[in-house]
């Protein structure tokens, strides 16, 4: 693959950097094609357990490419939205942990991209928002759904209906991001979190993610049944045997 996006694999971590700073890393059709190709590669790589997305320059992703979208027909807009939401769904359904290291502007499609990740760490300089209504459209990459699930209906409606931007500290206060750090510490904080995750059983983390992602779409009794089934599946793994043996033997587990 010849990608503008920078892909760096270091052990069990894959760091992906959006690398079109002149365009504020806008979500163009070409960028989406690259991201789908990258996910196809990651789906085949069992070594990678944590994927970090970040941006080069002033933006994480400052939104979609409006010059590209401006002349779309309704049919073309529907196809574009599907291609985008398919990308985010692939991330949610993949058995890896996705972390958004939000370095700068995460607006529109960039905010939606971050919402599709499992965890968000933000630079103190970052800005978040879904300003689509100011352009005569609504968030079409899952923003109306994921934001409400994450921060609650009231705050989500306020942010979407006004199109206003919020800073990193406000994003943390409402639960949109997990941590806020200074920009120069963003990579270190993200790698520290990734390594905390990687100390654990990746099969257990994978099943936990499946339970959370799938369970939120179910009624509570059905979701509890799913959790029980995934809990039972853990006992068919080598990780469960190693983890519990290590606990009883008072040693650190050696997960494969």
- Catalytic residue positions, numbered: 112, 132
Report the distance separating Cα 15 and Cα 36, nearest Å: 15
Structure tokens that stand for 209 in this block: 């993610």
Q: How far is Cα 98 from Cα 118, in angstroms, rounded to an integer?
A: 5
What is the three-class DSSP state of 67? helix
Strands 50-55 and 59-61: unpaired
**Rounded CA gap, 97 and 118, in Å?**
6
Crossing angle for the helix pair 109-116 and 143-151, to the nearest 10 degrees: 60
Kindly list the distances between the CA atom of residue 244 and the CA atoms of 40, 150, 207, 230, 250, in Å, as whole numbers in the listed order.
Answer: 34, 33, 17, 17, 10
Residue 83 backbone phi and psi in degrees, to 5: -65, -40
The answer to whether 101 touches 61, Cβ cutoff 8 Å, is no
For residues 84, 85, 91, 92, the Cα torsion angle rounded to the nearest 10 degrees is 170
């Amino acid at each position: 693959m010849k990608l503008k996006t920078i892909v760096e694999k270091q052990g069990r971590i894959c760091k992906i950097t959006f690398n079109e700073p002149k365009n504020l890393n806008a979500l163009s059709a070409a960028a989406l094609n690259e991201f789908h190709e990258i996910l196809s590669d990651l789906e085949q790589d069992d070594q990678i357990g944590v994927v970090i997305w970040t941006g080069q320059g002033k933006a994480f992703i400052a939104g979609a490419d409006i010059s590209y979208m401006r002349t779309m027909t309704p049919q073309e807009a529907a196809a574009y939205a599907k291609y985008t939401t398919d990308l985010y769904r692939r991330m949610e359904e993949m058995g890896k942990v996705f972390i958004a290291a939000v370095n700068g502007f995460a607006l529109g499609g960039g905010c939606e991209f971050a919402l599709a990740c499992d965890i968000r760490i933000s630079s103190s300089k970052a800005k978040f928002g879904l300003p689509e209504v100011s352009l005569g459209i609504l968030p079409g990459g899952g923003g109306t759904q994921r934001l409400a699930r994450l921060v609650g209906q009231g705050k989500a409606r306020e942010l979407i209906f006004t199109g206003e931007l919020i800073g990193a500290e406000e994003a943390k206060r409402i639960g949109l991001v997990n941590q806020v750090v200074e920009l120069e510490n963003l990579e270190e904080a993200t790698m520290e979190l990734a390594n905390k995750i990687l100390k654990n059983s990746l099969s257990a983390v994978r099943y936990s993610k499946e339970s959370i992602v799938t369970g939120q779409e179910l009624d509570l009794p059905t979701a509890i049944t799913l959790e029980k089934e995934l809990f039972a599946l853990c006992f068919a793994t080598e990780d469960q045997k190693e983890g519990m043996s290590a606990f009883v033997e008072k040693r650190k587990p050696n997960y494969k």
